[in-house]
């Protein structure tokens, strides 16, 4: 694709990582969003969410037109758009930063980074991406819940942002930033550490 638009020899590793990560996130959200919607309903003790099956039926019955494919899937994909708006910027920040950190670390020490060092790069890049995308995460969570604590329904991302700024204040958009950065940093360390370890193992596996 890059060679088509930028010449045969053109290559941008950062752009490649961004595009690949974005496509992967879009596909993953098809599974992740319904899970998040059901989980959010159960965690907030919404009326009718007494069990997993009951919560699932409740969400599917919410055919209010605000969710992607609501006539078929009900509210299962409520927040799909804003989730993509969170995950794509997250991937845009995390993956290029992760690869750049590995390159710079390798330059400093004169040889390729180890899986442990790569895990550290993944942890740091994930934490940075998590911090910058926290406001989008807050908006996504509100949209998935469908209404505020008083039961007043939200009507899109702009409505959520406007009401937060008007009724609760700007700092609310950073709600949960500390635990979000912490768990994503830990998750990034484990994920990239495991990924690089098995990648190294498979590449050195005798053929």
Distance CA 99, CA 106 (A): 11
This prediction has a pTM of 0.72
DSSP-assigned states of every residue in 14-61: HHHHHHHHHHHHHHHHHHHHHHHHHHHHHHTT-TT-SSHHHHHHHHHT
CA 152 centroid distance within chain? 26
Look up residue 9 and give its two tokens: 């020899």
Distance from C-alpha of 128 to C-alpha of 106, rounded to nearest angstrom: 21
Q: What is the DSSP letter of 11?
A: -
Please name the residue that has the structure tokens 């590995």: 102
- Chain segment 121-165, per-residue pLDDT in tens: 999 999 999 999 999 989 888 877 777 777 788 887 888 888 888
- What's the DSSP call for residue 156? S
Confidence of residue 177 (pLDDT cuts 50, 70, 90): very high
Per-residue confidence (pLDDT) for residue 202, from 0 to 100:
82
Per-position DSSP letters for 59-91, written without gaps between them: HHT---S-STTHHHHTTTTTTHHHHHHHHHHHH
At 53-80, the pLDDT tens digits run: 888 888 888 776 666 666 767 778 877 8
Burial class (CB in 10 A: 0-12, 13-18, 19+), 103: middle
The shares of helix, strand and coil residues in the chain, as percent rounded to the nearest 5, are 75, 0, 25
The sign one gets for the Cα dihedral 70, 167, 86, 34 is negative
Cβ neighbourhood burial of 158 (10 Å; 0-12, 13-18, 19+): exposed
């Amino acid at each position: 694709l890059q060679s088509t638009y930028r010449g045969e020899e053109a290559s941008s590793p950062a752009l490649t990582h961004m595009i690949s990560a974005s496509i992967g996130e879009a596909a993953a959200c098809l599974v992740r969003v319904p899970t998040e919607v059901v989980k959010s309903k159960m965690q907030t003790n919404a009326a009718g969410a007494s069990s997993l099956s009951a919560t699932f039926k409740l969400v599917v019955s919410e055919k209010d037109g605000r969710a992607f494919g609501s006539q078929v899937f009900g509210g299962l994909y409520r927040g799909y758009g804003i989730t993509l708006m969170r995950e794509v910027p997250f991937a845009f920040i995390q993956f290029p930063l992760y690869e750049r950190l590995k390159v710079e670390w390798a330059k400093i020490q004169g040889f390729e980074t180890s899986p442990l060092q790569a895990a550290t790069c993944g942890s740091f890049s994930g934490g940075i991406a998590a911090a910058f995308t926290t406001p989008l995460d807050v908006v996504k969570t509100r949209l998935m819940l469908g209404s505020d604590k008083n039961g007043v329904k939200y009507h899109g991302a702009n409505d959520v942002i406007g009401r937060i700024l008007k009724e609760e204040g700007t700092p609310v958009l950073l709600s949960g930033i500390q635990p979000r950065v912490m768990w994503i940093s830990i998750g990034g360390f484990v994920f990239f550490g495991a990924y690089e370890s098995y990648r190294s193992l498979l590449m050195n596996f005798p053929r």
